[in-house]
Structures are given as structure tokens and as C-alpha cells.
Amino acid sequence: MTTNQYFDSFLQDKLDERIANGLYRSLVHATDKIDFSSNDYFGFSRSLSIKNNHTTVYGAGATGSRSITGNSLLAEDTEKIIAQFHGAAAALIFNSGYMANVGLFSCIAAKGDTFISDEYIHASIIDGMRLSYASRLRFKHNDLSDLEKKLGLATGKKIVSVESIYSMDGDEAPLKKIAELCKKHQAILIVDEAHATGVFGDKGEGLVSKYHLTKDVFACTYTFGKAIGLHGAAIAGSHTLRNYLINNARSFIYTTALPPHTYLQIQDAYKALPMADRTKLFQLIAFFREATLSIKQLSFIDSNSAIQGLITGDNFKAKALAEYLFKKGFYVRPILSPTVPAGTERLRICLHTFNTINEIEMLLTEINNHFL
């Protein structure tokens, strides 16, 4: 056996362990299924106005990082549009939400400082904090008493991190009260608005803007891969923060910039966000929640956002249900531990304005049938 074959065998053993524990992931192509899985809440990714191809005017690629040859007036104008839309002083675009959070959290704190994050915070933020020399504390999900306790234990600069809408449970953080605690303990607050962007607020500005907390929040992450239906993300905050990230965020410095047409698509999407049919989306959410009340034997999560879910409490049960629904024509993905805590494995159901009442009824009927 060669060295490469030996190492392949080692990797296969690890994969076999995942299979045995119900943790194995595989890629699925499901364009012919009814979508109850994507984060494309308004169907923007399907919109012709956001698919316009401008490469003949601006070129196909950025040719380098923003700090070398990849910067442009187009990129900077797009950042100004984003900052103005969300009521921030400035914004800096990253190639993805993951890169934005890793870049921000890996460089914003130093040894002796303390991150305090909700226990359900996104993996990208966890990875960013791990790359920092700062200490890390976790508080119980949306538990203000535990947050205050951890604030009292923190040293150095105190940095609190939450999501405004949590990606797995779809529930909302008590942002106003969290902001008050941060003021009391002289901590800065960073909010990931990934799943609130486009959905909450009069124009889709997010919950920080909706609750008039812009001045109380140090930085927000706005991603383009959810309701905006594209790719990339921006961190919004002060001009000083923007300049600091340009100089210190490694995931910004050492990567090729987004291609020009992506900036144009982002601009198109931000123009469309105020007209997005949020009323219809929340009507579908209300219908779904009401309809699940009649299915007494199943445990649906309590969420007022587009993210809904059914707790199976077991990886194998979650995968089996997803496979059953796939055969019935529905694309819904299982969420397995350790992505969610053991015992809370689930089917994550995302609602969109392009879904219909009839499709929701058919989905719930098939879920019910699976458990009969």
C-alpha cells in the first residue's frame, strides 16, 4: 500500500464512522423539486432583473484582491449603497458571509479581551473567534441573565455577538435588551443580520434598523446569499472599522475580489428589496404555523420567521424524513447534530413567496403520512 493509499484508507475510515453515526453528508441536485429548503425567501435568484449579464461592459473578473488590482469605483459605490440602505456610516464587502465573519472576529480582539456569544451563534463566527487570541465565553440561548453573568466575568474589551434571527431555530434575539446590557457593562455589540436582511424592517433593512439600534451596535454582518439571492456579504459600521478591516481582515486581504457583474447584481437587488412582497411571506408563515397546530403528535419549532422546522430528535429519523419527502417531490434538508445540539436534529423548512398555500398543505400532509 502506498502512502497515498494508506491516507485514503484513513480518511475512508473516518467517513465510515460518520455513516455509522448518521452524520454523512452528500451533495444533492434538486432543481425539479418544490423548494422548501433554500434561503432565497423572495425568489430573487430566479429574477431576470438580477441575472443581467454586464461582463461585456466591465469585464469578467476582478484580476486580483481589492488591495492590489481588484478595487473599483463600482465596488465602492456598491458599499455606499449598502451602508446607506442599512443606516450605517460605511460598509465593506466580503466574498461570502463566512469570510466576513471569520475576517471580522479573527482580527477585532486581542489577548486579554473577551468574546461573549450566544450558544447558537453561527459556525463562521465561532471559527473567527477561534483564530483570535481573545478569550471566549458562551451564554445560554437568548438568556439575558446568563449574558449578564458572563459580562461580569469578562476581561479587557468585551465583545458580544448574536444573530438577529437564528439560522436553525428561526427565532429572534431580544436585541433591545441585549443592547441595554452591553451599554451597562461597556461592551460592544456585533449582530449577524443574515436571515433578517430583506425580511424585517419597512424596506428589509433588518432588525437593528427596525428597532433603531444602529447607534448601539458596533457592527452588522449583512449577507447576500439569503433573501438577496446572490453571493457575498458586507460588514457595516464606522469608517474606522472599514479601514481597520481593510488592513487586518485576512479573508479580505488575501482573496481575489468579486467579479464586476456581482456588484451590479447586488445593486439591482438592493433596489428591489423595498418592493419585495414581505406581506405575502408573513401570510405564508402565519398559515404554516396555524396549520401545524393541528398536527399534535409532531414537534414543530416556535418561529415567526421564514425559517420553520420539525424536530425529529435523531439524525437517522431526520434523514429518513428528508429522503421520503424528496421522493414525493419536496426539497427539504435535514439538519444533523452537531450542527444542532444532539436531541434537536430536525427538518429545516424554509418558506418563500414563490411557495403556495397548496404546496404547504401538500408538504404537511406528506410529513403527517410519513409518521402514520
Cα atoms in the Cβ-side hemisphere of radius 13 Å centred on 188: 16
Active-site position among 150, 195, 261, 319: 195
Q: Identify whether residues 112 and 248 lie together within a single domain.
A: yes
Q: Identify whether residues 265 and 291 lie together within a single domain.
A: no
Domain boundary among 274, 289, 313: 274
Distance CA 104, CA 116 (A): 15
Q: Identify whether residues 262 and 349 lie together within a single domain.
A: no
Give yes or no: 192 in active site. Answer: yes
Q: Identify whether residues 212 and 331 lie together within a single domain.
A: no
Strand partners, 222: 234
Q: Identify whether residues 267 and 286 lie together within a single domain.
A: no
pTM of the predicted model over 0.85: yes
Give yes or no: 195 in active site. Answer: yes
User: Of 251, 30, 212, whose CA–CA distance to 125 is shortest?
Assistant: 251
Q: Identify whether residues 253 and 214 lie together within a single domain.
A: yes
Q: Identify whether residues 200 and 343 lie together within a single domain.
A: no
For residue 346, give every residue at least 6 positions away whose Cβ sits within 8 Å of its Cβ, in sequence order, or none.
168, 301, 309, 310, 311, 312, 318, 334, 335, 340
Domain with 36, as residue range(s), is 22-42+277-371
Active-site position among 39, 95, 101, 303: 39
User: Of 103, 115, 126, whose CA–CA distance to 245 is shortest?
Assistant: 103
Q: Identify whether residues 200 and 296 lie together within a single domain.
A: no
> 204: buried, middle or exposed (CB in 10 Å: 19+, 13-18, 0-12)?
buried
Active-site position among 117, 132, 161, 167: 167
Angle separating helix axes 97-107 and 123-130, nearest 10 degrees: 30
Give yes or no: 167 in active site. Answer: yes
Domain boundary among 246, 274, 302: 274
Q: Identify whether residues 168 and 285 lie together within a single domain.
A: no
For residue 74, give every residue at least 6 positions away whose Cβ sits within 8 Å of its Cβ, in sequence order, or none.
58, 260, 263, 264
Give yes or no: 163 in active site. Answer: yes
Domain boundary among 274, 304, 336: 274
Q: Identify whether residues 174 and 317 lie together within a single domain.
A: no
Cα 5 from chain centroid (whole Å): 38
Active-site position among 86, 150, 158, 226: 226
Q: Identify whether residues 202 and 286 lie together within a single domain.
A: no
Whether 157 is in a domain gets the answer yes
Residue 274 sits at the vertex; the CA angle it makes with 273 and 276, to the nearest 5 degrees, is 60
Q: Identify whether residues 209 and 355 lie together within a single domain.
A: no
Active-site position among 86, 122, 158, 352: 122
Whether 6 is in a domain gets the answer no
pLDDT tens per residue across all 372 residues of the chain: 899 999 999 999 999 999 998 888 887 777 789 999 999 999 998 875 666 555 566 777 888 999 998 999 999 999 999 999 999 999 999 999 999 999 999 999 999 999 999 999 999 999 999 999 999 999 999 999 999 999 999 999 999 999 999 999 999 999 999 999 999 999 999 999 999 999 999 999 999 999 999 999 999 999 999 999 999 999 999 999 999 999 999 999 999 999 999 999 999 999 999 999 999 999 999 999 999 988 888 999 999 999 999 999 999 999 999 999 999 999 999 999 888 999 999 999 999 999 999 999 999 999 999 986
User: Which stretch of DSSP H or E encloses residue 80?
Assistant: helix 73-86
> 66: buried, middle or exposed (CB in 10 Å: 19+, 13-18, 0-12)?
buried
* Domains in the chain, number: 2
Give yes or no: 39 in active site. Answer: yes
Active-site position among 35, 118, 163, 193: 163
Which CATH number covers residue 259?
A: 3.40.640.10
Which CATH number covers residue 338?
A: 3.90.1150.10
Active-site position among 172, 192, 193, 216: 192
